[in-house]
Amino acid sequence: MLYAARKRIVEPVFGRMKRERDIRGFLLRGREKVAVEWQRICLTHNVLKIWRRACGAGASERG
C-alpha cells in the first residue's frame, strides 16, 4: 500500500520535473552543492505551481 501511494503522490512530481523542465541530473558535484541545487529546483518548481495557479496559465497543458 505504501509503494502504491508513492506512485500516486511523489513520482508524478519527479516526472514533471524531468519532462517539463528537462532536469535530468545535477550540474554540480559534492553532497552540499547538490543539496543546494536540489533546493533551488524544488523552490522554482513550487513558485511555478503558485504562479500557474494564480495566473491560470497551463490549464490547457494539463489536458
Condensed to tens digits (0 to 9), the pLDDT of residues 34-49 reads 999 999 999 998 998 8
Long-range contacts of 15-20 (CB under 8 A, 24+ apart): 16/45, 17/41, 17/45
Q: Please state, in angstroms and rounded to a whole number, the distance separating the CA atoms of residues 25 and 27.
A: 7
pTM for the structure as a whole = 0.65
The pLDDT of residue 56 is: 84
C-alpha cell read off for 56: 491560470
With 50 as the cut, is the pLDDT of residue 63 above it? Answer: no
C-alpha cell read off for 23: 532536469
